[in-house]
Each structure stands twice: as structure tokens, then as C-alpha cells.
């Protein structure tokens, strides 16, 4: 899978692209990441990529010409998504990662800066994506989060494929509590059921914990999950 990141700060990605599972996935050529700087496509002597907004206002906007030129310089694979990282986009979530991992051969990510981008840049874009309801100094941070979230779903990145199916959000619920040795630490004990060896009881405990944890911590997710459970037809 090919990722093209259009960024004014390619150095931002140096360490992440060479670290952890992401770095291993790129080494194994499960995915490839290519960085393109819009500043390289400017035509003035100062390599200017931003300008004041028409109508006045605070801050600067990224100009359309360098971004268009940068994106249009890239190869075009058959199943391609062009994403703009912006607080106005759809919230980033596991379903988006799954969709991109399953349906795309190429993901182009445009990193916004300053007060945003010229509105005409949206003519290049297939999706606007947001990391959350807050504002960051640059689009590289959400771009890296999306890159990590999608690459880890690609076959060969994570050693145990089953572990991907048991994580938070995969079934619409948060993950259950997990413990390792020692069985008691500073007076806090591992729940007895996890030491019982009864796999059916352990599975039931984990499911109950998922439901309770989601209901307590993320009532919005729990309501969606609960509504889905109630709408499912009864098995004969």
C-alpha cells in the first residue's frame, strides 16, 4: 500500500517512520511512504506557500498552487484516496482505518497549516479527516496517527492477527481489563476468574467487563452498541 504525505515539514516523520511496528512494516515493504513538500513546487524566489485571506482575518492560508502542483506530481494508483487533515473533517476512527486498509491502494494525505488551506484545495480531496474536536499547530500529527492506524491493519504488520479482533472499538466496545504477573502487587490482586483456567468463564467475564467499561467511560459508544444488539433478530 502506498502513502503519499504532502507536508511542509518532511523531517517530522523521520523518527516515526523508522521506529516500532511502523518502521518494520515499511522495511518489509508492507507499505511505502513518500514525502512531498509543496514548497518545492513554488515559482517565486521566496518559495512562498501561504498568503493573507481575502476579506481580511487573522492568520495566513496555504495557497492552492503549490498544493495542486505537489499532488498532481504524484503517481495515481487505481484505488486512491486523497485526504485533507482538518478540524472540520470526519472524526478519525477505527472504521475509517479499516475502510482505507481494505479498499485503498494509495492514500494521499495533505497536511494543513496556519489557519487552513484555500477552499479550492478541496477539489483535490476525497475525504476531510479530523483527529478530534480541537486545533493543533500542524496536520502532520493527525497524518501520523492515521498512517499508524491503517498500516497496523495491513496483513503482516501485526504478528498475531487474532489480537486485532480483540481490541477496543473492533466490536463497538472498549477493551476489557488485562493483567500479567505477579498475581498480587501492592495489595491489588488479579481477579480470581483469570487464574481459574476456565476459558468459558474467562470469556464471559471479559465480555461483561467490556460492556461495563464502555457504559461507564464512553456512554455514546455503549448506546450505539446496545441499539445494535437490540435490533439484531433473535436466532431460532
200 and 127 in a single domain? The answer is no
* Sign of the Cα pseudo-torsion (48, 140, 146, 102, in order): positive
The span from the CA of 173 to the CA of 94, in Å, is 12
What confidence score (pLDDT) does residue 149 get? 97
The packing angle between helices 94-103 and 140-151, to 10°, is 60
Residue 36: phi, psi to the nearest 5?
A: -130, 125
184 and 140 in a single domain? The answer is no
CATH code, 80? 3.40.1280.10
- Contact assessment for residue 104 and residue 129, using Cβ atoms and an 8 Å cutoff: no
- Contact assessment for residue 134 and residue 87, using Cβ atoms and an 8 Å cutoff: yes
What confidence score (pLDDT) does residue 171 get? 77
Indicate whether 64 belongs to any domain: yes
What confidence score (pLDDT) does residue 231 get? 76
* pLDDT tens digits for range 44-71: 999 999 999 999 888 899 999 999 999 9
Single residue among 121, 151, 181 that ends a domain in this structure: 151
Question: Domain of 204?
Answer: 166-231
Q: How far is CA 191 from CA 10, 185, 186, in A?
A: 47, 12, 14
What confidence score (pLDDT) does residue 161 get? 57
What confidence score (pLDDT) does residue 164 get? 57
One pLDDT digit (tens) per residue for the chain, 236 residues: 999 999 999 999 999 999 999 999 999 999 999 999 999 999 999 999 999 999 988 889 999 999 999 999 999 999 999 999 999 999 999 999 999 999 999 999 999 988 899 999 999 999 999 999 998 999 999 999 999 999 999 999 986 555 555 555 667 899 899 999 999 999 999 999 999 999 999 999 999 999 999 999 999 989 999 998 987 665 54
What confidence score (pLDDT) does residue 113 get? 87
Indicate whether 79 belongs to any domain: yes
- Contact assessment for residue 111 and residue 5, using Cβ atoms and an 8 Å cutoff: yes
* Sign of the Cα pseudo-torsion (143, 149, 154, 157, in order): positive
98 and 147 in a single domain? The answer is yes
What confidence score (pLDDT) does residue 184 get? 95
- Contact assessment for residue 110 and residue 142, using Cβ atoms and an 8 Å cutoff: no
CATH code, 219? 1.10.1270.20
pTM of the full predicted structure?
Answer: 0.87
* pLDDT tens digits for range 99-112: 999 999 999 999 99
Amino acid at each position: 500500500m502506498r502513502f503519499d504525505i504532502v507536508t511542509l515539514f518532511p523531517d517530522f516523520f523521520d523518527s516515526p517512520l523508522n521506529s516500532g511496528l511502523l518502521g518494520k512494516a515499511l522495511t518489509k515493504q508492507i507499505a511505502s511512504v513518500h514525502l512531498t513538500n509543496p514548497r518545492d513546487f513554488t515559482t517565486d524566489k521566496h518559495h512562498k506557500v501561504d498568503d493573507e485571506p481575502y476579506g481580511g482575518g487573522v492568520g495566513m492560508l496555504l495557497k492552492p498552487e503549490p498544493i495542486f502542483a505537489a499532488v498532481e506530481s504524484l503517481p495515481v494508483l487505481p484505488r486512491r484516496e486523497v485526504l485533507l487533515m482538518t478540524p472540520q473533517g470526519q472524526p478519525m476512527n477505527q472504521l475509517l482505518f479499516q475502510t482505507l486498509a481494505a479498499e485503498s491502494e494509495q492514500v494521499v494525505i495533505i497536511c494543513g497549516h496556519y489557519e487552513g488551506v484555500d477552499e479550492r484545495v478541496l477539489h483535490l480531496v476525497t475525504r476531510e479527516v479530523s483527529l478530534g474536536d480541537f486545533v493543533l499547530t500542524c496536520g502532520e500529527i493527525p497524518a501520523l496517527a492515521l498512517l499508524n492506524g491503517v498500516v497496523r491493519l495491513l496483513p503482516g504488520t501485526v504478528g498475531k492477527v487474532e489480537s486485532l479482533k480483540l481490541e477496543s472499538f473492533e466490536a463497538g466496545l472498549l477493551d476489557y481489563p488485562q493483567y500479567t504477573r505477579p498475581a498480587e502487587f501492592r495489595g491489588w490482586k488479579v481477579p480470581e476468574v483469570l487464574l481459574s483456567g476456565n476459558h468459558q468463564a474467562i470469556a464471559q467475564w471479559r465480555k461483561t467487563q467490556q460492556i461495563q467499561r464502555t457504559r461507564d467511560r464512553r456512554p455514546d459508544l455503549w448506546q450505539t452498541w446496545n441499539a445494535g444488539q437490540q435490533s439484531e433478530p433473535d436466532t431460532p
